[in-house]
Amino acid sequence: MKNLLIIALILLSSVGMAQTAKVVTTNGGADDVYFSFSNNEVQRINRATWDIGFTTKGFDASILINENAGVELFLYGNNIAAWDQVDTTGFVWNNSYNSEESWTLGAFANQGTSHPDYGWGTYTQTNHDINGDRIFIIKLSDKNYKQIMVEKMSAAGVYTVKLADLGGANTNSFSLNKKDAAYTSKNFVLYSLVSNEVVNEEPNNDSWDLLFTKYITIVQQGPVTQPYLVSGVKVNAGYEVAERTGFPTSSNDTSMLVWDTKITEIGSDWKTFNSSTFQYDITSDLTYFVRTQKGEVWKIFFTDYKGGTEGGFYFNIERVSGSASVGQYSALNSRVYPNPAVNNITVESQENTNLIGSLIDMQGRRVRSLELLPFETNTIETIDLARGIYTLVLRGENGMSSKKVILE
């Protein structure tokens, strides 16, 4: 009887750690779905209900746009005195997109470089406010165009935003305090510029792990790059993801994993559309491992994707925390800017050891090399390279990382 009890306990333990098949449907991409490894679907948000999102983080000023709802953002200029003279005649409509690397670089922030320039405004040392210094044009979820300016984020965490019809008519303003108790447990405060109200639907940031959504990525199409709206997966802030290929998805061998904090590391490229079958092919040996802020490690691999009105993600998950083989290699901490770039890119190391860098083209050829001393900044000339998508790979004693670089 004792032996039978032990066997039963072992079987129950195995079931608890076994792979579990899951399905998340997004109604053809009409919904954003927040998912928990432990509790499945946590929250579902209709994509059309919000336009921009304000970070709640204390030392951040990121503002996202809702790319899934078709929201687009364009920098008009940095002459804020021209608010009542905005004229799009001859205007060059260059989009600003949310970062695929980090939640802290929303579309509004991508016009900046680093502290004290936060993209939409500049930090002031005397009072610790960020004062707006750029005017943007925004296409809203209802397809109407407006001009918008973030006038300030005060040291107390209060955003003040100004919105008007193109040309400055019907100007109105609103304020939002990111430190309000209703928002502090969330990553972003979602806001509808159409209805002029907070959409307080994002779940608490400790309740979800993955976001199934649509977002803009840059893809290579022949000799040029194009922005493309893809269905994919983002991870929660502060999470790490490792990608593994060449092993069966059933394997839990994670001894050589390299972890990255890129929020779209899972992303969308685990599937490709087959124009012959009009269905999606899934990469058979591609497995992802996600390390949460709590230190848990989960394995996830995809088995199918159904487009159309379903927008269905089919995948298996398994908790692998506690496995002695789970590697502790981390992605290197570095910055690459500007991105997209034209004449050159700057690589800024934030590591205390030497780094070796390689710029790789779409054919896998190394077209540039560089070495970085600890905390050094170096520049790669790119003016003579073909326009397109490249990968910058950095290696050092503490690990490695790769970043997508766009030359345009």
- pLDDT tens digits for range 212-247: 999 999 887 767 778 999 999 999 999 999 999 888
End-to-end CA distance of the chain: 71
**Banded pLDDT at 328 (limits 50, 70, 90):** low
pLDDT at 260: 85
What phi-psi label fits residue 195: left (phi over 0), alpha (psi between -120 and 50 degrees) or beta? alpha
**pLDDT at residue 320 tops 70:** yes
**pLDDT at residue 8 tops 50:** no
Mean pLDDT across the stretch 286-308?
94
Q: In what order do the strands lie in the sheet with 188-192?
A: 63-65, 52-55, 188-192, 197-199
pLDDT at 282: 95
Q: Which two tokens stand for residue 254?
A: 């994670």
pLDDT at 245: 86
**pLDDT at residue 363 tops 70:** no
Average pLDDT, the chain: 88
The 10s digit of each residue's pLDDT in 28-62 is 999 999 999 999 999 999 999 999 999 999 878 99
Distance CA 214, CA 23 (A): 17
pLDDT at 361: 76
Of 299, 292, 333, which is closest to residue 316 (Cα–Cα)?
299
**Banded pLDDT at 331 (limits 50, 70, 90):** low
The 10s digit of each residue's pLDDT in 342-356 is 888 888 888 888 888
Contact (CB, 8 A) for 358 and 367: no
The CA-atom distances, in angstroms, between 330 and each of 57, 124, 152, 259, 373 are 23, 34, 36, 5, 19
Mean pLDDT across the stretch 160-170?
98
If one compares 110 and 213, the residue with the highest pLDDT of the two is 213
**pLDDT at residue 335 tops 90:** no
Mean pLDDT across the stretch 1-5?
43
**Beta-sheet pairing, 224-235 with 121-123:** unpaired
**Banded pLDDT at 16 (limits 50, 70, 90):** very low
Q: Kindly state the helix (H) or strand (E) to which residue 233 belongs, with its residue range.
A: strand 224-235
**pLDDT at residue 365 tops 80:** no
**pLDDT at residue 401 tops 80:** no
**Banded pLDDT at 15 (limits 50, 70, 90):** very low
Q: What DSSP line would sit under 252-264, residue for residue?
A: ---TT-B-B--TT
pTM: 0.82
In this prediction, what percent of the chain has a pLDDT beyond 70?
A: 90
**Least confident residue range of 14-18, 183-187, 219-223, 269-273:** 14-18
**pLDDT at residue 406 tops 80:** yes
pLDDT at 330: 59
Q: Identify the three-state secondary structure at position 1.
A: coil
The 10s digit of each residue's pLDDT in 119-163 is 999 999 899 999 999 999 999 999 999 999 999 999 999 999 999
List residues bridging with 358 in a β-sheet: 369, 393
If one compares 312 and 334, the residue with the highest pLDDT of the two is 312
